[in-house]
């Protein structure tokens, strides 16, 4: 069944710990990006592990192969479940990332970032990329799969064609998920929980609708209810 990942994009450690305590066993996975990592340090990852949580380290590594290999190696030593690299770094860099993971003797999943969900068609053209968003994402997903990554980060809107091409074992991690009645803020390519599940998402990443809520537990319960209700409607 698909899993919920709560994105802890905050620099307030007390509020982060309070949220984790409130959510208790409702949430197993938490995303740690640059904001909490720089604010709290790697000790916060150790704290999450000690409380039985799984960590999705979302630093989107994008550098020369040797640097990425060492970054992945040291990240995997932190006992994390998943981490991200930018597919645009190319096959040599992606293979170096896999090498770093293998040298660490860990089971960490390496997930390739396609195009950020905050990007619109206009913005990818500004960045010099040719063609439609969908064609670019498919090309990047091909590179990730051919190189041996464990999956990709994509918006749920792309699942309709990605799931037709790639096996179920190739993980699809989808940010930009917004429960009904919540705003889309700076995300451009968003989706509802139900549609993402029906189209084949493996992980749903949700941040602000949960961490900014006065009742985060209720938001999580509603999301998990929608996951359960739509799980058997997945298209394959």
User: Of 52 and 122, which is predicted with more confidence?
Assistant: 52
83 by DSSP, 3-state: which? Answer: strand
Q: How many whole angstroms from its chain centre is CA 189?
A: 14
Distance CA 65, CA 53 (A): 30
Distance CA 134, CA 208 (A): 26
Say whether pLDDT at 179 is over 80. no
Q: pLDDT tens-digit profile of 102-121?
A: 999 999 999 999 998 888 78
Say whether pLDDT at 149 is over 90. yes
Mean per-residue pLDDT, 186-192: 66
Q: Running DSSP on this structure, what letter comes out for residue 120?
A: -
221 by DSSP, 3-state: which? Answer: helix
Residue with tokens 């509020």: 15
Q: pLDDT tens-digit profile of 5-38?
A: 999 999 999 999 999 999 999 999 999 999 999 9
Q: How many whole angstroms from its chain centre is CA 137?
A: 15
Residue 235: its pLDDT value, please?
47
Task: Name the burial class of residue 170, with classes exposed (0-12), middle (13-18) and buried (19+) by CB atoms within 10 angstroms of its CB.
Answer: middle
Task: Show which residues are catalytic.
Answer: 60
Mean per-residue pLDDT, 184-191: 59
In CATH terms, the superfamily for domain 3-233 is: Aldolase class I (3.20.20.70)
178 by DSSP, 3-state: which? Answer: coil
| Mean pLDDT over the full length of the chain | 92
Q: Where along the chain do its domains lie? A: 3-233
Residue 7: its pLDDT value, please?
97
Contact between residue 102 and residue 77 where contact means Cβ atoms under 8 Å apart: no
């Amino acid at each position: 069944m698909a899993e919920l990942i709560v994105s802890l994009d905050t620099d307030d450690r007390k509020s982060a710990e309070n949220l984790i305590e409130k959510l208790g066993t409702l949430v197993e996975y938490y995303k740690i990006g640059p904001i909490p990592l720089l604010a709290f340090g790697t000790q916060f990852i150790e704290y999450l592990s000690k409380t039985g949580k799984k960590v999705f380290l979302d630093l989107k590594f994008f550098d020369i192969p040797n640097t990425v290999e060492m970054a992945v190696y040291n990240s995997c030593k932190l006992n994390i479940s998943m981490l991200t690299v930018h597919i645009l770094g190319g096959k040599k860099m992606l293979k170096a990332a896999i090498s770093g993971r293998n040298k660490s003797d860990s089971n960490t999943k390496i997930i390739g970032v396609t195009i950020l969900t905050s990007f619109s068609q206009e913005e990818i053209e500004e960045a010099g990329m040719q063609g439609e968003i969908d064609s670019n994402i498919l090309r990047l997903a091909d590179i990730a799969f051919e190189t041996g990554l464990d999956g990709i980060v994509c918006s749920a809107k792309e699942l309709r064609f990605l799931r037709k091409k790639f096996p179920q074992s190739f993980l699809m991690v989808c940010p930009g998920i917004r429960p009904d009645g919540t705003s889309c803020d700076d995300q451009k390519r968003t989706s509802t929980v139900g549609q993402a599940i029906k189209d084949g998402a493996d992980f749903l990443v949700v941040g602000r609708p949960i961490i900014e809520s006065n009742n985060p537990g209720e938001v999580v319960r509603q999301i998990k209810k929608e996951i359960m209700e739509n799980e058997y409607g997945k298209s394959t």
